Structures are given as C-alpha cells and as structure tokens.
Chains A and B, each alone.
Chain A
Amino acid sequence: MREVAIVGIGTTKFGELWDKSFRDGFAEAGVKAIMDARVRGEDIDALYIGNMSAGRFIEQEHIGALVVDCAGLAGLNIPATRVEAACASGALALRQAYLAVASGCHDIVVVAGVEKMTDVAQEKIEDLLASVIDREWEGFVGATLSSLYAMIARLHMHRYGTTREQIAQVAVKNHANAAKNPDAQFRRKITIEDVLGSPLVADPLRVLDCSSIADGASALILAPYEIAKKYTDTPIHITASVQKSSTIALHDRKDITTIDSTVAAAKEAYEVAGVRPEKIDFAEVHDSYTITEILAIEDLGFCKKGEGGKFTEDGKTAIDGDIPVNPSGGLKGCGHPLGATGVRQACEIVQQLRGRAGERQIKDAKIGLAHSIGGTGGTSIIHIFERRD
C-alpha cells in the first residue's frame, strides 16, 4: 500500500444556502480544492462523492455522473462513484479515495461531500433522517434519530451521573469555536442557559443540543505521498483510514452508551498510525447531538467511559484544552449537511495542520483525528492525519 496525502481542500460556507443548488455547492467546493492543489482536469483519475440522500432531498440520483458533468470533466470520461453510509457518507468517500490511491489504482483523486437539505419541508425532515436508523424495527414503531440519542443521553446521565449542564457545555464550546469559523452556519456564542432554555426535541435533548439541517459541500484532492510535493508545500499525510460496522438498531447493542464501531475503529486506527490517544493534538468528532460528542471522546480514548461530561465541563476539549475537540465548531456549530460533513472535517484538519486556521488555530498541531459515524453508530470511520516537515 502506498502512502497517501491530501494536497488540496475546498469548502462552501455551510448553512441555509437558499441561493445555491446541489450542483452549485459541489462545483464551488470542487473548484476551490482544484485551485488549492493546482491540478488540471487531465490530472484527475477518479472522483468519489459522499452523499446520503439526494434521491429524497432533491429527487436526484446518479450523483457521480452529475458531479463529473457539472465539473466540466465529462469529456475526460473520469470515473465517478457516489458512496453512502448515512451521516458518515463523506468520510466513506474519503476512505474509498484513500484506498484507490493507496492501492496504486489511481494517483490524483477528488473527494467530494455534498448535501442539499433545506429544499425539503421541515415537517418531512425528521422522517427522512429516520432512514438512517432501522426503519423496520425502530422507525416504524415511532423512534427517531433524536429520540434514540435522547435515550442514550438519559442512560448516560443515570449511569455515570453526567449532568444536563455538562452535556450542554458541548454546544456552548462548539458554538464558541464556530464563531471563529467563517464557513460555519452558527457564528454566535451561546450559554448553558440558552441550551437548557431552548425548546425540547426529545427529552432531555433540546434544540440547541442538535446539529442543524444545512446545505453545504466540501472537497479534497488526494495524491500519493511521494508526489504530493508537486502540488503543495504542505501535504498532509493520511496515516490511518479505518471503517468499522456495528448493529444498525440501538436495541441490539450490548451497551447503548458505547458506540462499539467507534471503539473498534479507534483501536485499529491508533495501531495503524502508530500513535496513542494522548498523541492526538486535536480531533474533529461527530457531534450530531451534544451527547454524541460525549460518547465520542470516551470511545476514542480521550477520557474514560463515563467521564466525558466532566472532561468537557473541565474545559479539556476546549480549543485551548488538553485535547481540543471540534475546533471548527463541529456539526453543531458548522451545520450538518450529512454527506458533506465527513469531508469538511478533513478540510478543517488540513487547515489546522497547515497552520492556516486563523483565529481558531491550535498551536503546534501536528496530528489530527477525524471521527464520523452513521446513524447511531452502525458505521464508524476514523482517519488520522499528520503533518511531517
């Protein structure tokens, strides 16, 4: 297997992009990434596109061909593949592209993540999102993604003494980080009182505990590490790309306060990259709900199981803490256009490792970790990135 690097990144602003269509989104992100890497159309060997549900959101399938066509690359007959793993679709596209380059099959590969969610009426969204959980055994009996995470939060609070305020601190921190991110949807600070005073979604989770419905697109350019310097002075090395599965339904898990697939993926990713959790300088984790970030930092080994709430409350995951988590603002602060999120996380890590993250720059960042999950953890994908100078 060859070593793989990221040589270009591009992202749109995330949010309610009323004036941008699905194709406008990936075109903007893709052009930015291509310009960043200074590659030509003829250099590109393949595209991988992470997209969860264009079929239901905008009634468009055949996304691979659409992206190639709208990017003006159809004349080159570049192969394009759309991949799907619910909310982890973007991370899965990155992994597929990584495998294609690492295997020697392709050299220059474009990864795109895109979702256009706000064209769907709000009352239909919750049901649409319930397609990421087990429709037959969860959705049909009334469960929604929010209600399942609410149960996880309730058990975590009961079993470990995690407080509502500690969970709310995740949103407070991520909004504070997003305020420094020009591409984030919610660039405003909030307080614990704001979170606890926002309308209930599924007890105990409230509106400000949930990531948002958003539009957005992000893109990356991958290249074999040995030729990466041809395209950029600061190639970012992908030192681990691991994907693990677990049961799609929450009730089939041994313990719903642990995402098994994340634990398994983290174990293997640390082995492959040759690092321990303490060596990770910062992480972009999947905070689809505030409780999801608490689980993630525990399952990734940044703190012990059950201590995620206190760890967050103590500021350990703040941008100036021991292990900054979601310096971009995360899914909560940036918005969560499902298929785009995993690719956006990688863009943030590259920005940080390049030292070009502006106001939210983490000092001396060398190793970053991206964690993305589908649904309640049926899929977990972890990438570890390193800058080697």
Chain B
Amino acid sequence: MVGIATYGVYIPKFRIKVDNIALMWGLNPEDVKRNLDVHEKSVPDMDEDTATIAVEAARYAIERVSLDVGSIGAIYVGSESHPYAVKPTATIVAEAIGAGPTMTAADFEFACKAGTAAIQTCMGLVQSGYIKCGLAIGADVSQSAPGDPLEYAASAGGAAFVIAKEGVMVEIEDTCSYTTDTPDFWRREGAPYPTHGGRFTGEPAYFKHIIGSARHLMERTNTKPEDFDYAVFHQPNGKFPAKVASELGFTKEQIQPGLVVHKIGNTYSAASLIGLAAILDVCEGGERIMLASFGSGAGSDSFCMKVTDEIKKYKDKVPSVQKFSENVLYLDYAGYAKHMGLI
C-alpha cells in the first residue's frame, strides 16, 4: 500500500515570545496568549528562506532511512512563501539533495495546505506506477504585516515526506478533500503581506472545510473518532484545532502529541505536517492517525493512516520535532524585525 517511507522536519532555532510582540503593539500579552493559545513562535535566521528550510527537512528525511535519492521521481514543494514568483523552489531542493535530473519537480501553492496537496499528488504517481517514490514538502517563512493579528503566530518551518509503496513506515489507507472558493485569506501578486477576513477565517473557512473533509474521510473509511489513536489538524493557533477536534468528537489526548503550535507558531504549509511528524516521533507501530490540513481559499485534505512496525527501525536517527524546541535562541522585537527584514 502507498504510504510514507520516511519523513524529516526542520524548524529554525530562533524564537520570539508572544509577550514581546504584544507589548510592542500595546496589547496585554496575557489576553493575546489566552485568545490564541500560542506562547512563542519560530523565526528564520537572516539567511533562511523556504528553499533552505525545505532542503533541511528533505535532508533529514533522506538521512533517516539512508534513502537512495536516485529513486526519487518527483519533488513537489508546497509553500505560500516561495522565494521566487517565477522559478521553482523544488529544483533548488532537488539539486541540493542530489536528486534528478531524470525526475519531475514543481512548486505547489494552496495557502497552508500545499504540502498535503503535494503528498496527494505523489500518492497518485506512486500508486499508478509512474514513479517509485516522490518527495512532498510543506515549508514556509510565513508572512504577516507588523501589527496584524497574524504576527503573533506566523512562523517558519518545514516538513518533508517521501511517498512510496515499499517499506513504508506509515500506510495511507485513504485520502480525500473538501474544496470551495472561499476568500478568507489571500495575498495578491506583488503584495508583501497577506490580507484576511478576520472572523470570516473561522466558521465558514477553517471549521467548515476541515469538518467537511474529516467527516467525508470517516464516511469513506467507515471509521469513527474513537478508531484513531491520534489526530492532527491544521494549527494556525492553539484554539482552532482544539475546537475542531472537539466538534468532530476527538479527545484532547488524541490531538495533544501533534499540537505543536504553542511553541513554534503557525508554520503555514508545514503546520499540520510538523504536527504529524511529532506524532510519528512517538509511534511504535500499529497506531491509526487522522490528518486534516487546511488551506485558505479554501480546502482541506484528510488522510487516514496506519503506522507499521517499520517505524521502530528508524527512531531517533534524525532530530525529532521536540528536539527543535530545545536550545532555542530568543529574540526581542528589534532582533525579530531584523531577522524578518523589517529593518
């Protein structure tokens, strides 16, 4: 069965606390933290961008299982902060990891769900036999206008997944999507920061689409929330995934291992995928996991996954998600502004 042959993540080591951002804009930090359930977020170094982050995550994925990069037939990088408007990030990644040139590559964009869309595309190519394995990456150095509510969470990180048929550590039993044209969040060509519809990003966007795709998946697979050991949802803040889990009937215990937004913020295209990686880090084989991403604009991709015993062989070969939250360096707002190129 098609599934995940290996995975890797990368999160920059810099952090800024929500307190520092709130104080800069004259807001009560406790109010902001309570409202968003986010305490700090990752910040890219001055020379990091989506391409470098994608490369780091891909290298860890390859290193975990000592993957033969020559077997990679497709590389897709999902992001909403590709360094170039025209020129692919995926080719930079391919060259950096030594893949190609007899392969295909492209960049994906679907707000925060481009990474899961890349996984679905790789699944199709692998399942049909066109390629042996495909590399799907979600990575972002998320943009947010200074002072915008997005600024408290928009962060940087990436996750890479190799999709294959043989020797998988996770079988993907099914996937489906829920897609509509919903303008909840967007960035026009040439605009430096995204615009969003405030509260409109909640019920008619995030909740409607995740609930739509998750319920559709459970119908297709004839499963119920209690059939899953873990669930991970897109996490733009801490409140939304907790609420959507509760509405769908999942418990706090099921989502806790994959809820990483409190400490790293919203890594946009990587958010749900880093959450999945955090769950895989603690799996021993046999667990069933649901993943539901969300991308503004809007859509959600859901996956029903079963962890195999293969996963035990590759534990702790490369840094876990937890490891990236250790030995971090905190920036004040001035340092953050410098890292983000604001000054």
Contacts and interface: CB of A to CB of B under 8 A. Distances in A.
A121 B195 CA distance: 10
A18 B198 contact: no
Contacts of A16: 199-200, 203
A266 B266 CA distance: 55
Interface string A196-220: 0001000000000000000000000
A121 B198 contact: yes
A18 B203 contact: yes
Interface residues of B, number: 8
A351 interface: no
Interface string A122-165: 10000000000000000000000000000000000000000000
A122 B198 contact: yes
Contacts of B200: 16, 18, 118
B70 interface: no
Interface string B68-111: 00000000000000000000000000000000000000000000
B199 A19 contact: no
A123 B276 CA distance: 36
B30 to A, nearest CB: 12
B197 interface: yes
Interface in B29-51: 31
A16 B195 CA distance: 19
B249 interface: no
Contacts of A122: 198-199
Given A121-B197, A121-B198, A122-B198, A199 B31 contact: yes
A97 B102 CA distance: 76
Nearest to B28: A199
A122 B195 CA distance: 12
Nearest to A17: B204
A18 B204 contact: yes
Contacts of A118: 199-200
Interface in B203-256: 203-204
A18 B203 CA distance: 8
Contacts of B197: 121
A118 B197 CA distance: 9
A199 B203 CA distance: 23
A307 to B, nearest CB: 35
Q: Which of A18, A19, A118, A121 has the most CB of B within 10 A?
A: A18
Interface string A286-312: 000000000000000000000000000
A19 B207 CA distance: 14
B204 to A, nearest CB: 4
Interface in B312-343: none
Nearest to A123: B198
A199 B22 CA distance: 14
Nearest to B197: A121
A216 to B, nearest CB: 16
A199 B195 CA distance: 24
Interface in A228-251: none
A19 B180 CA distance: 13
A199 B31 CA distance: 9
A117 to B, nearest CB: 12
Interface of B: 31, 195, 197-200, 203-204
15 contacts: A16-B199, A16-B200, A16-B203, A18-B200, A18-B203, A18-B204, A19-B204, A118-B199, A118-B200, A121-B195, A121-B197, A121-B198, A122-B198, A122-B199, A199-B31
Q: Which 5 A-B pairs have the closest CB atoms?
A: A18-B204, A122-B198, A18-B203, A18-B200, A16-B199
Given A121-B198, A122-B198, 6 more contacts: A16-B203, A19-B204, A118-B200, A121-B195, A121-B197, A122-B199
